[in-house]
A = this chain, B = another copy of it.
Amino acid sequence: MISFLNDYSEGAHPAIMQALQDTNLVSTIGYGLDEYCALAADRIREAVQSDHAQVHFLVGGTQANRVLISSALRPHEAVITALTGHVVDHETGAIEASGHKVLTIPASQGKLTPELAERIRAAHNSEHMVKPRMVYVSNSTEIGTFYSLQELEELSAYCRSHHMYFFLDGARLGSALTAPGNDVTLPDLARLTDAFYIGGTKNGALFGEALVLVNPALQQDFRHHIKQNGAMLAKGRLLGIQFAELFRDQLYFRIAAHANAMAALLKQAITEAGYSFMIDSNTNQLFPILPNEVLEQLRSRYLFSHWEKTSDTHSVIRLVTSWATAEEDVQAFAEELLAISGAAVSK
């Protein structure tokens, strides 16, 4: 079976495994205070062009979201997000479990705008309601789109003018930053957000997210919050070693670009076969609308997620590519889809 289920189906990119192997017997201090974490943080500060940013390494995305949000907000403060935001329905209420309401609004293409955020903020104008204090966006989004520089500039300006934090979830940041049409850079994120994270789990690492705290107000005692949330890895070096490798020789971007390229091939094949998409995506997640009978045949050799029904005869599926996606597997899928579709059409 060939899997397009997600971008965390295998272990790590071979270069990362090699780095872990090479350092395995070196003795270091624990809890992320080692030289590898220091090196990785330095490389990331250089990549984001922010000398004063703190870089903390966390194991996963839900953890990163929960630690950051709960450390930033006072008990009565809330976070604004698009209805499709990962924190809404895919983290088992982790943010609410830390005491904070998540305020949602439907957003076209999964992307929040100042207008949408303001609709929520303006409605929360009393002490009988929570106080919106943070805007949360994901880039790339949960449905494969990404923000333009101008969109992020506007959100950043909006947040600053309303004394709200701007936090960007970068679980799939690599894919966004290397997508055709993207005009955003890491230094842009450091300039425009208060905090963001650079996802490793979905971009070649065994695990790990590099949380960049740009705003000094979010930096104080942050390691206390990591520890309190059970998120401080004893062998913190593992995160440092991986991110030092990801940010050496552009590995992070090369991995993401490969995943995007594989997705582009899939997109091209699906388009050629005459099918459309729930939403247009240039990143490593595709959401084609396919006839159920085609899906049935594909399922015998390929793994992918059912997303939603669009009619009695058609469904949206999700295809995800990664560093581990082989071009030959993509081509096999493309050929099979064309063959099935031709057969389907000719029936």
List residues of A whose CB falls within 8 A of some B CB. Answer: 1, 3, 5-6, 8-12, 14, 17, 20-21, 23-30, 59-67, 70-71, 74-76, 78, 89-94, 96-102, 124, 127-131, 201-202, 206-207, 221, 223-235, 237-238, 303, 324
Contacts and interface: CB of A to CB of B under 8 A. Distances in A.
A250 B53 CA distance: 46
Contacts of A224: 76, 92, 127, 130-131
Contact of A127 (B6, B74, B223, B235): B223
B92 A100 contact: no
24 contacts: A6-B30, A8-B234, A8-B235, A9-B29, A12-B24, A60-B230, A60-B233, A62-B232, A65-B230, A66-B229, A75-B97, A76-B92, A76-B225, A89-B124, A89-B128, A91-B227, A91-B230, A93-B101, A93-B129, A93-B228, A97-B229, A130-B228, A201-B235, A230-B230
Contacts of A75: 70-71, 97-98, 225, 228
Contacts of A101: 93, 96, 102
Top 3 A-B residue pairs of the complex, sorted by shortest distance between their CB atoms? A63-B230, A11-B24, A76-B224
Given A66-B229, A91-B227, 16 more contacts: A8-B234, A10-B25, A10-B28, A14-B24, A27-B324, A71-B76, A89-B129, A91-B228, A96-B99, A127-B226, A127-B227, A128-B227, A130-B224, A131-B224, A207-B234, A207-B238
Contact of A78 (B93, B231, B238): B93
A202 to B, nearest CB: 7
Given A76-B224, A234-B201, A238-B207, A128 B91 contact: yes
Contacts of A65: 230
Contacts of A27: 1, 3, 9-10, 303, 324
B11 A92 contact: no
A303 B29 CA distance: 10
B30 A24 contact: no
Contacts of A230: 60, 62-67, 91, 94, 229-231
Contacts of A90: 128-129
- Copy number in the complex reads 4
A63 to B, nearest CB: 3
A92 B6 contact: no
A220 B71 CA distance: 18
Contacts of A5: 29-30
Contacts of A202: 234
Contacts of A3: 27
Nearest to A229: B230
B228 A92 contact: yes
A66 B70 CA distance: 16
A21 B16 CA distance: 11
Nearest to A201: B234
A11 B20 contact: yes
Scoring A24, A28, A324 by chain B CB atoms within 10 A of each residue's CB, the highest score goes to A24
A21 B22 CA distance: 12
A74 to B, nearest CB: 7
